[in-house]
Amino acid sequence: MNAKTETNQAVGGGLSVLVVDDSAALRGALRAVLSSLGISRIAEAADALQAIEILRSGEITLTITDWKMEPMDGLTLIKAIRQGAVGPNADMPVIMLTAYSDPRYQAEAARAGASVFLPKPFTAATLVEALEAVKTVRSQPIRPNAETIDGTVTAAQA
């Protein structure tokens, strides 16, 4: 096994990822990067309602969601996850992947319970940073509606 393979397995080891985005191209790009990191269990949803059906299985350990989708947006999806309304894993890490990069959106995502905020456009390197940040926040309890954004890590801060 070479060093790159070992690094990739360390980043993605044991994750079962749900990618939620209304863009098939973006879902494909995320799948390709996640696969290159050694993550083999990747599910896709074209919207939050489809994601809820997948999350109810209880098999997903990490969700990456876009913010702006119809008929339900990613922020509402995160709130539903945190309230335990979509399955048994209300404290699973959730990466909010969005073009909304303004700090007020980061704060709103944090209040909803996002674990990591990853602005678009993302690169393989920033996605790896977000996955590494998830490992850090995974050991901390998720507190939706927190008054600060201290618990939310942007990929740039990781």
Backbone angles phi, psi at 112, to 5 degrees: -75, -20
**Which range marks the domain in which residue 33 is found?**
3-140+147-154
How far is residue 84 CA from its own chain's centroid? 16
57: CB partners within 8 A, 6+ apart: 87
The mean pLDDT of 133-144, rounded to a whole number, is 60
- pTM, two decimal places: 0.81
pLDDT in tens, 64-123: 999 999 999 999 999 999 999 988 889 999 999 999 888 999 999 999 999 999 999 999
- Cα dihedral value 105, 84, 73, 40, nearest 10: 90
Instruction: Identify any residues that bridge with 45 across adjacent strands, giving them in sequence order.
Output: 20
pLDDT higher for 136 or 134? 134
Instruction: Specify the number of domains making up the chain.
Output: 1
Angstrom CA distances, 145 to 91, 115, 149, stand at: 14, 12, 10
pLDDT value of position 15: 87
pLDDT higher for 6 or 42? 42
What is the number of alpha carbons within 13 Å of residue 99 lying toward its C-beta? 5
Domain CATH for 99? 3.40.50.2300
Rounded CA gap, 93 and 130, in Å? 11
The mean pLDDT of 128-135, rounded to a whole number, is 90
